[in-house]
Amino acid sequence: MVSVQLNQEMRNRLIDDFKAVSQFGAVDRSWERWLKGSDPYLRVTFDPATADEDRSATFVTPTHPLARQAAKSLDPSATLSCSVSAKSSTVAPGRYPFAIYRWKILGVTESFAFQPVCESEEHAKALLGLLEDAVATQDTSAMIAAEEERLEAIHYRVWMSSRGEHIESVTRSAEVRLASLKASHQARVALLEEQRDQATDARIRRMKEGQLEAANRDYERRRSDLERVAGQAEIVAEAAVLGVLYVEN
């Protein structure tokens, strides 16, 4: 758990950044209320257990608007390097090379996520929690090329699996939406055609013809949008952080 203090100028800057990544949802609305409020203090945690114990703390996940703002603000071409140390009673003492990849997830909506990578899956799950209380250290050896290559290979496997699942999910969702759109369009067209054919007033018939043309244009536009979404489903990944974590008891 960490406590940060942001003055009004900083919150105003964050509000401007938030507009570029804002989405519908309770978490985004809550974050926006805090940014626009007068309380300069914010208690933040990255740990799910801590968030469950203290619901007043802000639980920052990779999809939290603050994380999305941070991802957007980072230079996509810059990979940060660091060496840090942390204490843990659950992770054995040792030296742990790690990487954090930034994922840009394209689909029905655009979102960002951070993917931690370690040589052990167990350590990868604990990484973000350990980094929460980690401190920078200089008295260490840097990551070597072979370690970086191993982390990249591990990330590639995770990325390929997640990418395949994401594309399949977006494709299925688009297919369901297309089927629903087609059914509702056909019903709408059938009703308008019936109303047109039953009309005896020429003005009403012309009006119904216009409504039919508008309905067909709307259908084609929405169908094209859904097909485009299905075709652009992708996860774009890049290394955001490469570092070494030293764990002590």
Please indicate, yes or no, whether residues 137 and 203 belong to a single structural domain of this protein.
yes
Q: What pLDDT does residue 97 have?
A: 95
CB neighbour list of residue 99: distance below 8 Å, 6 or more residues apart: 116, 117, 148, 151, 152, 155, 239, 241, 242, 243
CA angle 221–63–16, rounded 5-degree value = 80
| Boundary (domain end) residue, out of 73, 103, 119 | 73
Please indicate, yes or no, whether residues 113 and 126 belong to a single structural domain of this protein.
yes
Q: What pLDDT does residue 70 have?
A: 78
Please indicate, yes or no, whether residues 117 and 199 belong to a single structural domain of this protein.
yes
Query: What is the mean pLDDT, run by run of 10 residues, along the chain of 249 residues?
Result: 78 81 77 84 83 83 79 67 90 93 86 91 90 81 88 96 94 92 96 93 93 94 86 90 90
Domain count, the chain: 2
Candidates 211, 179, 182; CA nearest to 195 is 211
Please indicate, yes or no, whether residues 174 and 234 belong to a single structural domain of this protein.
yes
Distance CA 92, CA 248 (A): 8
Please indicate, yes or no, whether residues 129 and 34 belong to a single structural domain of this protein.
no
Please indicate, yes or no, whether residues 220 and 113 belong to a single structural domain of this protein.
yes
* DSSP secondary structure code for residue 69 in this structure: H
DSSP letter for each residue of 131-160: HHT-EE-SSSPPPPHHHHHHHHHHHHHHHH
| Boundary (domain end) residue, out of 73, 107, 130 | 73
Candidates 82, 78, 66, 97; CA nearest to 240 is 78
Please indicate, yes or no, whether residues 157 and 57 belong to a single structural domain of this protein.
no
Element (H, E) at 197: helix 145-198
Q: What pLDDT does residue 1 have?
A: 67
CB neighbourhood size of 116 (10 A): 21
Candidates 153, 149, 132, 156; CA nearest to 245 is 132
| Boundary (domain end) residue, out of 20, 43, 73 | 73
Please indicate, yes or no, whether residues 52 and 99 belong to a single structural domain of this protein.
no
Distance CA 157, CA 164 (A): 11
CB neighbourhood size of 46 (10 A): 21
pTM score > 0.75 for this model?
A: no
Query: What is the domain extent for residue 38?
Result: 1-73
